[in-house]
Amino acid sequence: MTPDGWTETELGKILSLNYGWSLPEKKRVTGDFAVYGSNGIVGSHNEALVPTAGLIVGRKGSAGHVHLARKPFCPIDTTFFIAPSDTELDLEFLYFLLLHTDLKRILGDVGVPGLNREMAYKERVAFPTDWDEKRKIAGVLGVVQRAIEQQDRLLQLTAELKTTLLHQLFTHGLSGEPQKQTEIGLVPESWEVVPLQDICTFLSGGTPSKQKPEFWAGSIPWVSPKDMKKPRLSDVVDHISDVALEDGSSLAPAGSVFVVIRGMILAKDVPIALAEVPMAFNQDMKAIIPGSRVVPSFLLCAMVAFKQNLFQKVGRSAHGTMTLMSSELTQFSIPLPDRQTQEEIATAITIVEQKHEQHRRKHAALSDLFRTLLHQLMTAQIRVHDLDLPEQQIV
């Protein structure tokens, strides 16, 4: 049932989807106008193909994705675009309406995903007839989206800060001391360069039987490569029982550093993370247990700082799987200062990581809020007039 004061119609009656233009990278001249592909901005050009703001809808590849360009832009031939003259609705409200409609639901499933324009036109949508209600819905959603975009920028900045700080600390130390050239590159003159096997021990993991549900009903965190998305792990998705641990896995102590050694993720990255509590883990990973000479958090920082050296040692097994051989890992060298310096460096990097994690959590919470508001406002489960928001926040 259409809510009071709302109307329902087909998309094709309120907008036109225009085909983007062919603008290969070799023909672009770097300039002030964003070039949009199906997945967002893919470059820039010195001349706008659309002389106004507009919407971009993915046609091929990331088909069904929607982007809002607030100034003149260039949509390429994997996209459709909508200019203000192509719709009776305000562009910003239409942007959120299309996000809610989720055109990705109607993609073709043969070959490269594609959005059929005629099928899109038949999608039914509902929206308020009152101009002020549409404006306020767009305003509320825009406030939350801008907050998400701010967290995106802060996440990028803290990630860049960590990279810069790692490079600075591991090449110049804490006091900018002279450097020396080593087999792993420039490091502070007073630091040693040692292979991991001289300062750590190594542990292999395993997977308990999936045929025994009771093995997977315990409290011991069990790490697999899918969990290796953060630098520090305090809990993970899967948990196993004490009996399962004896059956087919190993328990790494808190302070161990996990490294993925097998899997296609190694084609683009070597995931590394520190266990903050004792954790079991699977056979596609190794646990590196630091000895008395190395601070666990420093070991994590050093391996991340020199990850590119480790990535270069990844190879392909006879079965085609990407693999980091155990011998390459044990012989992998890192720079090693005295323990006090290790602790100070680890503390500095940890502070940046904590800041990054704060922004990640804020981003996740705001994203959840946006999804909820988008659904409830665009289905009239919540009427925007009932929200107690200052007018200046939603214009």
Closest CA to 73 of 103, 97, 40: 40
Q: For position 389, what pLDDT does the model report?
A: 59
Contact 106, 115 (CB under 8 A): yes
257 CB neighbour count, 10 Å cutoff: 25
DSSP 2: P
- Using a pLDDT cut of 70, give the percent of the chain over it: 96
CB-CB neighbours of 7 under 10 Å: 12
- The yes-or-no verdict on residue 73 having pLDDT over 90 is yes
CATH fold group of domain 1-128: Adenine-n6-DNA-methyltransferase TaqI; Chain A, domain 2 (3.90.220)
Q: How far is CA 225 from CA 14, 113, 240, 261, in A?
A: 46, 28, 16, 9
Question: How do strand 179-182 and strand 185-188 relate by DSSP bridges?
Answer: antiparallel
- Of the two residues 2 and 324, the one the predictor is more confident about is 324
Higher pLDDT, 177 or 110: 177
* Whole-Å CA distances, 248 to 33, 241, 358: 57, 11, 36
CATH number for the region 192-336 comes to 3.90.220.20
Residue written as token pair 């196993």: 240
Q: What is the pLDDT of residue 249?
A: 87
Spatial contact of 50 and 72, defined as CB atoms under 8 Å apart: yes
348-360 mean pLDDT = 96
Q: Give 343-376 as a DSSP string.
A: HHHHHHHHHHHHHHHHHHHHHHHHHHHHHHHHHH
**Which DSSP string corresponds to 252-321?**
EPTT-EEEE-BSGGGGT---EEEESS-EEE-TTEEEEEE-TTS-HHHHHHHHHHTHHHHHTT-EE-TTS-
Per-residue confidence (pLDDT) for residue 109, from 0 to 100: 58
Q: Dump pLDDT digits (tens) for 306-349.
A: 999 999 999 987 677 899 999 999 999 999 999 999 999 999 99
Question: For 167-190, what is each residue's pLDDT tens digit?
Answer: 999 999 998 889 999 999 999 999
User: Would you state the pLDDT for residue 204?
Assistant: 95
CA distance 353 to 57: 35
